[in-house]
Amino acid sequence: MRQRVRIVCDKDRKDESSDMVWVKRIIIFLIVGFALFYLIAHPVAAGNAVQAVFAALGNVFRSIIMFFQSLTH
């Protein structure tokens, strides 16, 4: 017995991508909402979290620079 093969046409792809756009918007909305709630509910902790993130990024970039400097010596 033969099986049917479904061929996805251009219209179906547009519908799928528009569904993904909605999912992406909802996820971004939830993340921003949580960040705002955290900022309002716990401003000191939110500030500490931001400082920790920037400190970690600074350490990463500093380590990368040190690595490339060690390659040149």
**Structural domain contains residue 50:** yes
Q: Using CA atoms, how far apart are residues 7 and 52, in angstroms rounded to an integer?
A: 50
Asked if residue 3 is part of any domain, the answer here is no
Asked if the model's pLDDT at residue 67 lies above 80, the reply is: yes
CB 66 within 8 A of CB 59: no
Residue 1 within any structural domain of the chain = no
pLDDT at 1 over 70: no
Residue 65 lies in a domain: yes
pLDDT digits (tens, 9 = 90+) for 11-49: 655 556 677 888 999 999 999 999 899 999 999 999 999
The pLDDT value recorded for residue 26 is: 94
30 and 52 part of one domain: no
The tally of domains found in the chain comes to: 2
pTM to 2 decimals? 0.55
At residue 10, the pLDDT reads 60
State residue 8's pLDDT score. 63
Q: Which domain holds residue 47?
A: 43-73
Is there a single domain that holds both residue 48 and residue 58? Answer: yes
Residues 36 and 59 in one domain: no
Q: Is residue 16 one of the residues assigned to a domain?
A: yes
